[in-house]
Amino acid sequence: MMKRKEFILGAAVGLVFAAAATAGGVIDWPGANASEASGRLIPSAGASGLAFAPPQGAPLSFADIFDQVSPAVVQIDVETPIERPRGGMIPIPGLPGFGFQAPETQEPGEEEEPQTAQGAGSGFFISADGFIVTNNHVVANATKITVKLSDGRELAGRLVGRDADTDLAVVKVEGSDFKFVSFEEAAEPRVGDWVIAVGNPFGLGGTATAGIVSARARDIGDGSTPYTDYLQIDAAINRGNSGGPTFDIYGRVIGVNSAIFSPTGGSVGIGFAIPASVAKTVTDRLMSGRAIERGYLGATISTITDDERESYGFAADFEAAYIVDVTPGAPAERAGLQVGDIVTSLNGRKITSSTQLTRAVGEAAPGDNLRLEIIREGRNQVINVRSGTRPADIQAAQNGANPGEPESAPDRPAPSAGEVVEGMTVTPVSEALRSRFSLPDTLNGLVITAAAPTSRAGRMGFEPGMVIVLADQRPVRTAADLRAAIARVREAGREGIVLLVRTSNGNRPVVLPLTTPAAAAE
């Protein structure tokens, strides 16, 4: 799983020595002259020892680099508030709704002292006048920031700005003539290039680890930083390395350590750094007090999966993004983009995934025209959208369109009888069903009121309260609409149908494998 928040990655480098046995059974090391009489191995410093020398271009030591750059690396200690659990209950992680009573620690009428948690991360000076780059997740919600320098000084830090979408932040300390480092902009690191990470793992400030660039342009897939293709490195970084720099062998910053991949929470040699090309652009804006503005579509999207591609009858190499939901009042809705639309290009740029579409929209300036080529109900169309400004809290903007878990309501009316299609009992949305399942007034489709446990739909998790909005990219309002869509899919020789289903957690596309006509009639 992905680990973030003061956690950073690692890898250990091992040296493997190979020995060969001679015909006489005496071990002979390359470049060594052994005395056969005594059996003692006496290494030689002869020319053949060059076989173990570092490869061309590799440093004999990282010591000089560390001496040059370490004064710019700092430890960042933070305090963040802890909210007292409602009702004095302390929740049990992983078990929502369960917990135990928190002990009383104060007398009645006494004001409760605010509770705080301590955290630690890393950062580095990017200018002589005290600007420091770190991760957003290190300083987010911090009420107090303390910066510890390599010479032992401790300075109060002030948050200048942060960007959650790239996990970057800038902190300022008062002073001048600080040692600082610079981002490398011209040259891009290659897979296999040496790197050295300096930071504060487990509170052990001034720690250096070395490794190589393991991969480039990694999408870590957690959705929290949609505008970053990460560098993957194997220099050991762990908890507390967050926000620290990754240097090349010339002491230039090529990345900002941000996340690890680890099944245990510790370093397993797979770490991710925000590339300098992204970090410099964002931090320059934050340092100057400018807001980070990105284009905004106002749609929830996903990538067309293999099952969906096959169910739609697209070619095996077809790639695109799928509009799962549209935020009410957002630019996409105003321009006529609809749920179920399949986006194939934006301003002539081919779109192959949801990530690519998100980044292409984000690169646009607010007010720019976004020309989307889409497929709707099997036909190619063009939608022109005037880009908005991406909200600071994108999740809140999306949640405005996607209600959460429906609240329980007493005396709900009984569900309509409905018709059975593919093991699901479905009926058109009605006012009674809107009340029963807390459905939005603007939602139309087929409400699932029951799903046979032995049916394919039942085994896949379809349940009462879900609403089928689209079937094979076409709106469905009645059971007849759904049957007609299924008939079209069967006639085309496809084995499954793509349904856009509204759940308590928002819309999502689902491929429902179809039964044979004979089985469906039973």
In terms of C-beta density within 10 A (0-12 exposed, 13-18 middle, 19 or more buried), how is residue 28 classed?
A: middle
User: Which pair of tokens denotes residue 351?
Assistant: 């779109």
Choose, from 77, 122, 137, 481, the residue flagged as catalytic: 137
Question: Is 242 noted as a catalytic residue in this protein?
Answer: yes
- Phi and psi at 310, nearest 5°, equal -65, -40
Tokens of 261: 């991949």
- Listed in sequence order, the residues at least 6 apart from 61 whose beta carbon sits closer than 8 Å to its beta carbon are none
Alpha-carbon distance values, 26 to 39, 49, 51 (Å): 7, 19, 21
Please confirm, yes or no, whether 137 is among the known catalytic residues: yes
Question: DSSP assignment of 415-427, as one string?
Answer: PP--EEETTEEEE
DSSP reduced 3-state for 64: helix
**242 neighbors 8 (Cβ within 8 angstroms):** yes
Kindly name the residue from 163, 167, 325, 472 that is annotated as catalytic: 167
Catalytic residue among 242, 311, 354, 455: 242
Is the distance from CB of 206 to CB of 251 less than 8 angstroms? no
Token pair for 347: 């301003």
Calpha distance 308→341 (Å, rounded)? 13
How many other C-beta atoms are found inside a 10 Å radius of the C-beta of residue 115? 10
| Rounded alpha-carbon distances, angstroms, from residue 399 to 293, 318, 355, 403 | 21, 31, 20, 6
Distance CA 243, CA 274 (A): 9
Measuring CA to CA, which residue among 150, 127, 130 is closest to residue 67?
150
Is 302 a residue of the active site?
no
Amino acid present at 81: P
Report how far apart the first and last C-alpha atoms of the chain are (Å, whole number).
44
Which of 302, 310, 307, 306 is CA-nearest to residue 342?
302
Amino acid at 181: V
Rounded to whole angstroms, the Cα distance separating 101 from 501 reads: 39
Cβ contacts of 41 within 8 Å, gap of 6 or more: 27, 29, 32, 34
Cα–Cα dist 449/439, whole Å: 13
Number of H helices, E strands in the chain: 11, 32
Which residues are 512's β-sheet partners? 497
Residues noted as catalytic? 137, 167, 242
